Structure 1
Amino acid sequence: MAVLFYVLLAALLAVLGWLGWNMLASGRIAARSESQIPMAGKTISIGGDRIHYVNQGAGRPILFVHGLGGQLHHFRHPLFPAIGDGYRLVAIDRAGSGYSTRVSSGARIPEQAELIAKFIDALGLEKPLLVGHSLGGAIALRVALDHPEKISGLALISPLTHFIPTPPKEFGGLYIRSPLMRRVIAGTLAVPASLKNAQQTLDFVFGPQPVPADYAIAGGGYLGLRPSHFHATSSDLVAVEQDLPQQVGRYGEVRMPVGVLFGSRDRVLNHTQHGLSMQGKIEGIEIEILDGIGHMPQFVEAEKVAAFIRRIADRAFA
């Protein structure tokens, strides 16, 4: 019995030591990531959360909401220059992502939509066009359903519109239902594992196009290598199943200009299931499919995406 006790004790100490090493490694990686990509804009307090955003230009406002695991650089770097003058362009880090905190708000879609509505009020944006990418598309749709008076229209890029019972296997490591385990893994194993698998994950997300050479810095990629960002991303993924199935049945309530842009070779979200299926669900919806393009068209076809946004903006602001 004494031998067994010491064996178990040694095993426990080894596991704790391994977790401790990963915790220290996570801290070093996160610090290096933040030094390479510092805050790009300003912060504003919304309830108990600090929301980081960038704001440039003048004119009618366009507000950008990024997708799962993303941050505001998914728009600021590739799209803002392509859209050009004539608009006030605002992009946010969703709560918990990038440099925004998630303290008082939650990960569920209605909660995130509520935070977007409060941000619009806090920044004094007059009925902006709301641009949502991927999961940001589902959140943008929820803003249109729950807070239609806050916005003028929706421009959805590769949007999540319908519930997927099983997430792609490449995202399997994010699906952690236990809040306790999510917190533990975020602080120990997640960041080193994410760094190890980064190229494989990015190839899946950007494919069939190559990952942009400057994505790690200019595209904000390194900001995903932090425990807080992993925790928020995992929470977002788990929360989708609580609200999206019910949300689909309400799309007919949307009464504003809506456009959907999808790549025909999107590996993350099928363009038929999440794009073409929206035809007829929202009156007057405009759907555009980019042939041969993957999940990140704003990086590989910035001019076409900018033209799409400007076209929907013309309708929304008419």
Structure 2
Amino acid sequence: MTLLVALILLLAVVIAGLVWFTANTAKRVEALLPPRGQFMDIDGQRIHYTDSGGTRPAIVMIHGLGGNMLHFGYAMADKLAADYRIILIDRPGAGYSTRPDDAPANLTAQAKTLATLIRRLGLKQPLLVGHSLGGALSLAIALDHPDCAGALALLAPLTHAREDVPEPFRGLVIASPLVRKAVAWTVATPLGIRNGPKLLAEVFAPEAAPADFPMRAGGLLGLRPNAFYSTSSDLMAATETLPDYMARYKSLDIPVAMLYGRGDRILDYRGQGEAMKIVCPSLDLELVEGGHMLPMTQADRCVALVRRVAERQQQVQAA
């Protein structure tokens, strides 16, 4: 009995230590990378965004799974800001945007939230730029809220449901919200610190992850417990409503362009890009030699695609 009590006390001390370490790490990360934008309260969520306030047509940029707005701020936003009004968004629960633990994380719910933000900003059919999961979200906005999307520029987007989970994200597969919360506040942060370099290499492969990714692209923000919880929630909910959108892709009647890397090891360009081209023959699909993190590794190609689809949008609107 004495041994059992000792083991329980030891376990309690270990858990308390992990919680303290996690909270302290989150505090230090947020001191290094504080919010850079404004906040808008939407249905119990607090959405963090930046608005460059340009005079040209608006571009709304939506990041992918486990990311934040700095993924676009890293290399793309400044290249476009001279000519366009640039709105960068932290998706619900990502970056500095908050989302209640019990709020739905599926594409339909997130699309509704971002559509509300777009309307409150007074944007009329902006060009949506979506990377990875942000690509799926951009498609959902265009289909559910057509007044909030005049064209789409999709970068290595998720467009079709897949049966498996990419290897780097399998640690996020946690069905129980309670277990997800427990993991987030105990082992997720120390494991993230230990495995971070390997994870980055896998996500960026076959290209190299930039050395300044943790700070300049906000990678450190992923070490916070709320970030882990939300990323796991996003992954578990990603395919809840995706099949419904897949059935509606053929109804898209706005300019859509897509950039995909042939070496992408997270999402396959054939099952995501070429499969989309079959459904939407008018899709402007460009393939490049590269991986999944194109907004950072091939920013110039991404910017060129955005400018191309923006010109098409203006031509369509002028016709």
Q: Do the two structures share a fold, i.e. TM-score over 0.5?
A: yes
SS, match of residue 242 in structure 1: coil
Offset, 1:283: 4.5
* Matching residue of 1:150: 148
- Structure-2 separation of matches of 1:128 and 1:105: 26
Q: State whether structure 2 residue 253 is matched by structure 1 residue 255.
A: yes
One-letter amino acid of the structure 1 residue matched with residue 118 of structure 2? I
SS, match of residue 45 in structure 1: strand
Q: State whether structure 2 residue 28 is matched by structure 1 residue 32.
A: yes
- Structure-2 separation of matches of 1:81 and 1:232: 28
Contact 2:125/2:146 (8 A) holds in 1: no
* Matching residue of 2:282: 284
- Structure-2 separation of matches of 1:265 and 1:204: 12
Offset, 1:135: 0.5
Residue among 35, 38, 45 paired with 1:42: 38
Q: How does 1:110-259 map to 2 (within 5 A)?
A: 110-259=108-257
Q: State whether structure 2 residue 300 is matched by structure 1 residue 298.
A: no
SS, match of residue 55 in structure 2: coil
Q: Which portions of structure 1, spanning 4 or more consecutive aligned residues, are displaced by more than 4 angstroms?
A: none
Contact 1:255/1:282 (8 A) holds in 2: no
One-letter amino acid of the structure 2 residue matched with residue 303 of structure 1? D
- Structure-1 separation of matches of 2:55 and 2:155: 23
Contact 2:158/2:267 (8 A) holds in 1: yes
Kindly report the root-mean-square deviation, in angstroms, between the aligned alpha carbons of the 2 structures: 1.3
Contact 1:29/1:226 (8 A) holds in 2: yes
- Structure-2 separation of matches of 1:286 and 1:113: 23
One-letter amino acid of the structure 2 residue matched with residue 22 of structure 1? L
TM-score normalised by the chain length of structure 1:
0.95
Q: Provide the identity percentage.
A: 40
SS, match of residue 211 in structure 1: coil
Contact 2:106/2:239 (8 A) holds in 1: no
Residue among 253, 264, 280 paired with 1:266: 264
Offset, 1:190: 0.9
Moved more, 104-113 or 273-282: 104-113
SS, match of residue 310 in structure 2: helix
- Structure-1 separation of matches of 2:267 and 2:23: 32
Offset, 1:82: 2.1
- Structure-2 separation of matches of 1:199 and 1:287: 31
* Matching residue of 1:77: 74
How many corresponding residue pairs? 313
Which blocks of at least 5 consecutive residues in structure 2 are unaligned? none
Offset, 1:145: 1.2
- Structure-1 separation of matches of 2:288 and 2:154: 13
- Structure-1 separation of matches of 2:297 and 2:187: 32
Residue among 7, 10, 32 paired with 2:6: 10
- Structure-1 separation of matches of 2:166 and 2:37: 33
Contact 2:124/2:147 (8 A) holds in 1: no
* Matching residue of 2:94: 97
One-letter amino acid of the structure 2 residue matched with residue 295 of structure 1? H
Offset, 1:63: 0.2
Offset, 1:248: 1.5
Which blocks of at least 5 consecutive residues in structure 1 are unaligned? none
